[in-house]
Chains A and B, each alone.
Chain A
Amino acid sequence: MYKPRVTDLAAGVRTGRSVATGRFGFSLLLLACLGLSACGGGSSSGQGNTPADDDGQGGDDRPLDDDVVDTPLESHTVSGNLTANDALQADTDVDDPTTPEVDNNTFATAQILPNPAIVKGFVTATPTNSASGRFADSTDTFDVFSISAFSSQSILLEIADFDPGASDNADLDIGLFSTDGELLEASINIGSAFEAIVVPSDGDYFLAVNAYSGGSNYTLSLATEFATSAFQSQISLGDIRLDRLAVAELPGNATNRAFVSNMQEGEQMLATLAQESKRIALTLDTAKALDSLAVQRKRSTDSGAERVSLTALHTGDSKSSKTAPEMDSLAMLDMIKAMNSEEGDDIFAALQYPSTHQSLGSDPVPDRFLQWNLGAIGWTEAVDRLESVTLSKRPILAVIDSGMVIDHPDLAGVIVDQRDFVPAVIDGDGFVADASDDVRVNDDPRSCHHFHGTHVSTTAVAPQNDAGITGVVPGIGLIAIKVGHNSGDNCGLFGDIANAILYAAGLPNDSGSVPAITADVINMSVGGPTQDPDISAAISRAVAQGVIVVASAGNDGAPVVSYPAADDGVIAVAATDTLDAAAPYSSFYPRVDIAAPGGDQSVDVNGDGLADGIAAGIAVASGSGFRSSWGLMQGTSMASPTVAAGMALMKGIEPDLTQSDIEAMLAAGQLTVDIGATGFDNATGFGLMSLPKMIESALQFSDGGAPDPAPVTIVTSSPGSLDFGSSLDSVTLDLVQSGGTTVSVSSITGSDSLTLQDGSVPIRFSGPDTANGFGEYSFVLDRGALESGALSGQIAFNLSDNSSHIVPVSAINQVAQGVASSAAVFFIIERMNDDGTFEALDEQFFSSDGVSGGAISSPAIEEGTYRLIYGTDTDNDFFICDQGELCGTFPFSNFGFNATFELDADISGADFLLEDVANLALTAFDGTEHPGMGARRISKPAVLD
């Protein structure tokens, strides 16, 4: 690589003026040559230092005046290769007509990107009208890219020309599609320079940039994390809920119009309305595959304020068209954008409603739509809290139900015991240790119970095993007890529930055996109109043993009591829907203690295309048998195991908790979030279950009459995870402990692809010099030892109390290269004047296939001190190095244009490095007519055919 001498600008020294400067200039040249080693040495510049006596008569025979006064400066060229970082890519169809056009407007012609990647592109929803621009008379609405991305990777779009003070900014959005073209996620901000998407899982995708309105350069980044939280999308398709768009109608506006109000940094905005609810019908562009979208307002009250939600309902007949649930959300936001445009202002509202719902985080990620029930109970917060909690025991939940699909993937590793309590007179085999669901009813391979027991059990305990769903408390122990049977044409619960309860509690029963590990909690998602004295008695005995008994409140949607829920000592559970309201079918009576998500499949409030039921494990007919699957159900059957799992977790934290302790906590509001009427109400009892509150209450429990519980050691680390991203090679981590006991670190082990092998590759660590192993650790990643791709695993700090503190680990190594993309790169030569200022030469040159790497050579340029600036002009505004464009300087300098080179000989092998203009600290060019840092006006050749 050519390395020019860097000239001190302050010295203002230059060489090689034009021959037109006359004798004076030549004198300067003489002096300069005396001072600089570059002079002479084979140069043909005619830098003679002695008078020429050509005729031998003495004197200086050199001609005077203009004929030959100054030695003409020679001209030289600068040549080299354009290079760019592997991650840097150029959009292959931009407004600059000199860039070779390669269509990337469809899935079929998607441009392949590497990972990580930074794409500099251009899209426009309207003709640009730019001089000779490629899209002067047409549009470039979409740029589509093909990517291989990894779970939790960040995709960020920056609208380059965005001006916060302007009202006519271009509006660009991004969408993530499956390889089948199904929209999976989108970021559809209004009034923001940024759009952001988090990749949901490892896989191949199409990523589309869409010009909603206007046109602009853009920078599209596929990275591992955002540089700042400010880049987080304000409206992401994954977050938007049609029921959570708050609207406020303008005072005095009597028409059926929805108007939106400002949202302040994610704070919930409560819109106060005066009008009654009314139906708003909108007709949208049929290109959106919707004939019409009826928006129904639903009003609810809360402490005097009114929250208004919108539920999109199909009213057209276009369901046969592609009407993915996301299209409803997009259509809704289209409506908002259209109204904003009409009003001439960028205002909107995205109300997170209800407030009890939480977005679901970390990998593996429960689907926030499919498993809305987890968000409703504060699942993510609970999971985070549990990372610093050491359980006293593994919670054990007994589910007395119709039977289970024992080998269901979402029951893997959780079944600790099983028993059949259907009497032999019915099923012929008595109380055997087999809770398998019946799969044959008159040669029908499907269970008449529709695998109810499997659904109930997996709702509670399904492990986080990347299969199916995630349970309320994943992985707790399950005692599967079957009391259902298909008896001829009859399908019913013919089992001995009373003995089943005794068995689960470890009490003597008619089976003659008890589980090796008895239950902390018993769940019964069953009910009947009459009280069974045997069952009541068994419940009393189990409760006396310290077992918590939970049962479904019933689905009569009326004040109809159900047993065993109404039995003494039983926690009766009502059901809620996606709006945290009592489900329409949920029975209500004074015995109801608590509520939990049970679903409402008559609606799809969260707009995911699925009825709002509870997703969990089932089985479906397959040939003569069945196969494990997952499905939706609704009912207090689903709510009950949700509460039961939470209470089992409480028992795992504090095994001495009793039914009366739980009831006291309920009455004190320590386990729930109050919903519905303030305080206790028959529909939801003391409120909606809160898993985080359950955890805290168990931790804080203090039984005055019983021995103090064993102190809990809390181990935490900062950070909570080791994320090396795509560039970090080392991360430090502080390991700390608190609590009543002291533990020490016995060992540190790794897992998955990031294994620790004797502390060496691919992660080395050095720990604190402390006796107990707590303190600061340094982890160093050897990327050379890693394969390409997204890598994840975990490091376990194994402690002396036989527990482990787990720290997730992730990293991304560069994966396959994208297809080389070309872009026209224009060069501007600037000569340094005597006073240190720079002046652009008229001569400019360009490469039509830069970026991908190409040889480039300047025209012959007279000797002198120069600098080169080069870049793309994707928006064809005749300025290179705009925001959103590629740019570079020669020589390379981290300080912008502070470097020059001496052109006193041909320069070859130069490295013309292209970079994201945002990385260059370019100072404004004096006299620039164009806003932006370092932008340079250029001239372009005629459009090439």
Chain B
Amino acid sequence: MTMKSPLHACFLLSALLAGGCSCLGSAGIENAVAADQQSVSASETTCRTYGFRNWALQRDEQTTTISVEASMPTPAWSIVLHELPGADEGTIKLVMETIPPTGMSNSVITWILAEKTLDTSAMSAPDITISCADEIVWSSQES
């Protein structure tokens, strides 16, 4: 099997398969499909996107709202930002989960809005990071 777009395919596969980005080699396509689907169902925070735009951070005295648009395979995907427990004091770690549709949807690439409001009343400008799969895709320190 030939990967036609190694950059993008690897980005996606790295989110699905253990062991980093690699082509599936000579495995039968049916096995590959099955393996892919098993990986998705087993993962708690699957994150698959073709890119991000319009990162935004809004703070007030009580809350901090983070929003971003992610490029998704169809308009029917949804995106959830989860706050990971156990982060160091003064930091907030979020992980993005992209949730595929279960039914039919238009086969058009679409930007889907992801947004989360955090209670930061007890924090003073916490460091916030957002991960998609194993990759940090946004950090408040760099924004």
Measured CB to CB, the residues of A under 8 A from B are: 401-402, 448-450, 452, 455, 484, 491-493, 497, 525-530, 532, 552-562, 581-586, 588-590, 601-602, 633-638, 640, 676-677, 681-684
A558 touches which one: B7, B16, B101 (CB < 8 A)? B16
Bound form: Cα–Cα A601–B51 in Å: 11
Bound form: Cα–Cα A553–B29 in Å: 15
Contacts of B36 in A (CB 8 A): 558-560
Given A584-B7, A590-B29: A556 touches B73 (CB 8 Å cut-off): yes
A-B contact pairs, 18 of them (CB 8 A): A452-B75, A452-B108, A492-B105, A525-B108, A554-B107, A555-B74, A560-B33, A562-B107, A583-B5, A584-B8, A585-B50, A589-B33, A633-B109, A634-B108, A634-B109, A635-B107, A637-B106, A637-B108
B2 is an interface residue with CB less than 8 A from chain A: yes
CB distance from A593 to the nearest CB of B (A): 14
CB distance A528 to B104 under 8 Å?
yes
Given A584-B50, A602-B51: A682 touches B29 (CB 8 Å cut-off): yes
B8 touches which one: A402, A532, A557 (CB < 8 A)? A557
CB distance from A471 to the nearest CB of B (A): 18
CB distance from B99 to the nearest CB of A (A): 12
Contacts of A584 in B (CB 8 A): 4-5, 7-9, 50
Q: Looking across the interface, which residue of chain B has its beta carbon closest to that of A582?
A: B4
Bound form: Cα–Cα A176–B113 in Å: 42
Contact residues of B between 73 and 127, Cβ < 8 Å to A = 73-76, 100-110
Given A492-B105, A529-B102, A635-B109: A588 touches B4 (CB 8 Å cut-off): yes
Q: How many residues of B contact A (CB 8 A)?
A: 35
CB distance A558 to B107 under 8 Å?
no
Sorted nearest first, the 8 A-B pairs with minimum C-beta distance are: A584-B8, A555-B73, A552-B107, A584-B5, A582-B4, A635-B108, A637-B107, A637-B108
Bound form: Cα–Cα A581–B5 in Å: 9
A527 touches which one: B8, B50, B51, B74 (CB < 8 A)? B74
CB distance B106 to A559 under 8 Å?
no
Contacts of A558 in B (CB 8 A): 9, 12-13, 16, 36
Bound form: Cα–Cα A497–B106 in Å: 13
Contacts of A638 in B (CB 8 A): 108
Contacts of A636 in B (CB 8 A): 107
Contacts of A560 in B (CB 8 A): 33, 36-37
Contacts of B74 in A (CB 8 A): 527, 555, 635
B57 is an interface residue with CB less than 8 A from chain A: no
Q: Looking across the interface, which residue of chain B has its beta carbon closest to that of A681?
A: B2
Given A529-B100, A676-B2, A677-B2: A559 touches B29 (CB 8 Å cut-off): yes
Q: Looking across the interface, which residue of chain A has its beta carbon closest to that of B76?
A: A492
B42 is an interface residue with CB less than 8 A from chain A: no
CB distance from A448 to the nearest CB of B (A): 8
Given contacts A529-B102, A681-B2, 14 further A-B contacts (CB under 8 A): A450-B110, A492-B104, A492-B105, A528-B103, A528-B105, A557-B5, A558-B13, A558-B36, A559-B29, A559-B32, A585-B73, A586-B4, A602-B51, A637-B108
Bound form: Cα–Cα A811–B29 in Å: 59
Bound form: Cα–Cα A491–B30 in Å: 32
Q: Looking across the interface, which residue of chain B has its beta carbon closest to that of A566?
A: B33
CB distance from A453 to the nearest CB of B (A): 8
Contact residues of B between 1 and 32, Cβ < 8 Å to A = 1-2, 4-5, 7-9, 12-13, 16, 24, 29-30, 32
Contacts of B24 in A (CB 8 A): 559
Bound form: Cα–Cα A584–B12 in Å: 10
CB distance from B48 to the nearest CB of A (A): 8
Q: Looking across the interface, which residue of chain A has its beta carbon closest to that of B34?
A: A559
CB distance from A583 to the nearest CB of B (A): 7
Bound form: Cα–Cα A96–B143 in Å: 61
Which one of A561, A562, A585, A633 has the highest number of Cβ atoms from chain B below 10 Å of its Cβ?
A585
Contacts of A582 in B (CB 8 A): 4-5
Bound form: Cα–Cα A581–B8 in Å: 13
Given A526-B104, A637-B107, A637-B108: A589 touches B29 (CB 8 Å cut-off): yes
Q: Looking across the interface, which residue of chain A has its beta carbon closest to that of B28?
A: A590
B4 touches which one: A448, A527, A555, A581 (CB < 8 A)? A581
